Structure 1
């Protein structure tokens, strides 16, 4: 029609409904419902035509997939961070120290020794579970105070709770490799142990008991035993001959030696009797010597005439010396002469003036010296003087 509105643009100018977005309104004729909508065939070059595919929104499944992927990535990052943190913590240099100290606190001494690579020999009688079980004042808790961790070496410091006090301890570790090529593997180096030091004022090679374990003193009467932190009961076994009061040796922490424990011995009644017998036997031996100068004795006779020949030389003990046996000194239990004994000497001679009998005395018999030890035959006595060089003779 020529007298109506200008429709020269035709229906083809109306955009397809699927290209509309936002709040753009459709023409009124497009908003009315149609009972039989005709197929839409856009002209070439018009919006929606072939060669220009209309934009479409993401499908619900795709959106869910992207969200799931993002969540998985976040979880992976979080899990990686947690894994790194856990791995770093489990491979910290303090972990071997913590395990070692826990074994010590729980009384698993053998496990602690193995973990720290501490070698033992036959003299380490205190480095056993049985001996450590008898110790008191042991480590009951610990706290790591610092960890200095380098590439190949680490130093871990701790405070140990022992006998109600805080005792510092330092441990060294070396890196031996890595786990998964990332986390360092640390090996605890053998820590320096403390020691129980005992000095027995008694014979050398004396037997001492420390926490029920036996040890033997050296030539100086001493013994040192490696030990873990704690306090240990110490005693000596002198058998029937001597004894000493028990004492306690304290080992504070690692790498420190406690104050040496001195066991002062005294002779038992049997020891006193054996000592007296040993002194008497020494005096009797000197008296029995068929010479004017008994070897190793405290008395002698002199003034013989070199022109004479002496025979039948003998000593006669007139009185036996009185002695007392006291405390241990540097060489043994000190024997002092309270009252000297006396002896006389006689001999027959022949010479230019004929035959006769020569006599000397009475001469003091001293019996000072030391009881140096005991054996199957009793006590051993060593005199303080020899051949009477500090005693008088006649």
Structure 2
């Protein structure tokens, strides 16, 4: 029986040798030489032995893969957070948060609202005294159109929902990715007041003192809220405290306030004194037609020479001081007074005394204001235009 391992055999002889399938070589038998490896084109390269991967390398690969995944996740989260923090409504929220906290200066800066010295209500102190302020808000919708964004919100004032719209402009980007938005100054409402009193009347709005213009009115820009309006008429006149409501940021939502004034007892006494002083001034005139007075005399003879001309008040008019009209507190004459004019004359017919009267004295007019000295009266009737002279 042949023991040549190279000879083809049936059965077990056809099974490949271990060396052929394992990539290793069998050790040669003692006393024999190992056959040389085949050379030339037909020689197949010996398979490279596989190395077992170390545990540290395997852990490194796993850790690296996990890091890539984490970086991808972190990048996605970072982009989402960045987009959220750069959303246009964030500027609106910052503005309204400051306003809700009463930080007016910060809110005005957020919204780019310029204010001057006469904007007395746009301060922390004034807003602290306002009622029905913004206590909450809700962002309703955001619309972006190119470089412009519009944010709709609902403000909470005294439990009521007040709609407000804000506009923002795109001013650039952060890191070349996230848009930067700038809130445009919203149109503020205003406290509009008309005081039935003389121009220059002192008015306190939320504790801030201002004076009315020549029409008796004033307009002050204001943030959303309700503002107490009190008139300072000194000892001469008074008025009930009123409230000016400013809802949201639309000027059309502001409610104008008209304040009616009433003369105090001192004011009425001063008004009566002013009327009497006016009558006395007219009586003191030596002219037959006292300037600015409601009575006059006529019928002089141009051929005569007149001396010792004078008016004598026979009875004072009785007056009543009523409410404020366009020109002042109205003074009406409830009963006329009377006056007489006398003068000595000399002429072709001789000499004597000329007399005119009694003549009605009408003291209707207006109390136009007060000073430390008292009231100012202006007659509404000049030179007896509605009276009968004689």
Same fold (TM over 0.5): yes
User: 1:263: which partner in 2?
Assistant: 259
Say if 2:77 is the partner of 1:82: yes
Asked if 1:201 corresponds to 2:222, the answer is no
Change (3 A) 1:391 1:286: same
Q: What displacement does 1:266 show?
A: 0.4
Distance 1:42 1:339, change over 3 A: farther
Is the Cα contact below 8 Å between 1:156 and 1:170 reproduced in 2?
yes
User: What is aligned with 1:109?
Assistant: 104
Partners of 1:157 and 1:171 within 8 A in 2:
yes
Distance (whole Å) between structure 2 residues aligned to residue 237 and residue 307 of structure 1:
59
CA distance in 1 between partners of 2:297 and 2:386 (Å):
13
List per-residue Cα deviations over 1:328-361 (Å, max 9, x = no partner).
1111101010111100000111222122211000
CA displacement 1:24-73 (0-9 Å, x = unmatched): xxxxxx9xxxxx9x998784379xx8733336266144443333332222
Shift of 1:389: 1.4
SS at match of 1:66: helix
CA gap of 1:194–1:39, structure 2 versus 1, over 3 A, is farther
| Separation (CA, whole Å) in 1 of partners of 2:350 and 2:35 | 177
Q: How does 1:274-313 map to 2 (within 5 A)?
A: 274-313=270-309
- Map 1:128-207 → 2, pairs under 5 A: 128-207=123-202
Q: Does the alignment pair 1:229 with 2:219? A: no
SS state of the match for residue 283, structure 1? Answer: helix
Task: Find the counterpart in structure 1 of residue 248 from structure 2.
Answer: 253
SS of residue matched to 1:280: helix
For residue 4 of structure 1, the aligned residue among 2, 5, 19 is: 2
Which ranges in structure 2 are unaligned for 5 or more consecutive residues? Answer: none
* Structural RMSD (CA): 2.7
SS at structure 2 position matched to 1:297: coil
Map Cα deviations across residues 127-151 of structure 1 (whole Å, 9 max, x no partner): 1101100111111111111111233
Relative distance call for 1:300 and 1:39 in structure 2 (3 A) is: farther
Distance 2:268 2:339 in 1: 25
Q: Check 1:309–1:89 CA distance in 2 against 1; reply closer, same or farther (3 A cut).
A: same
Residue 67 of structure 1 corresponds to which residue in structure 2?
Answer: 62
Structure 1: 5+ residue stretches without partners: 22-29, 31-35
TM-score of the aligned structures, taking structure 2 as reference length: 0.91
Secondary structure of the residue that 2:47 maps to in structure 1?
Answer: coil
- The alpha carbon displacement at 1:375 in A equals 0.9
In 2, Cα distance between equivalents of 1:4 and 1:18: 21
Between stretches 193-202 and 176-185, larger displacement belongs to 176-185
Which residue is 1:240 aligned to? 235
Distance of 2:147 and 2:193 partners within structure 1: 40
3-state SS, counterpart of residue 281 of structure 1: helix
| 3-state secondary structure, aligned to 1:54 | coil
- Aligned 8 A contact 1:19 1:54 in 2: no
Match of 2:47 in 1: 53
Aligned residues: 379
Distance 1:15 1:390 in 2: 147
1:33 match: none
Q: 1:40 to 1:313 in 2, by over 3 A?
A: farther
- CA deviation vs aligned residue, 1:94-119 (integer Å, no higher than 9, x gap): 11110000000011111101111111
For residues 194-227 of structure 1, the C-alpha deviation after alignment (integer angstroms, 9 at most, x for no partner) is 1111110111111111110011111111101111
Distance in 2 of aligned mates of 1:377 and 1:308: 43
After superposition, give the CA deviation of every residue in 1:135-181 in whole Å (9 maximum; x if it has no partner).
Answer: 11111111111111233211111111111111011111112221112
Task: For 2:381 and 2:33, locate their aligned partners in 1 and report how far apart those are by CA, in whole Å.
Answer: 144
Give the distance between the partners of 2:244 and 2:301, measured in 1 at CA: 65
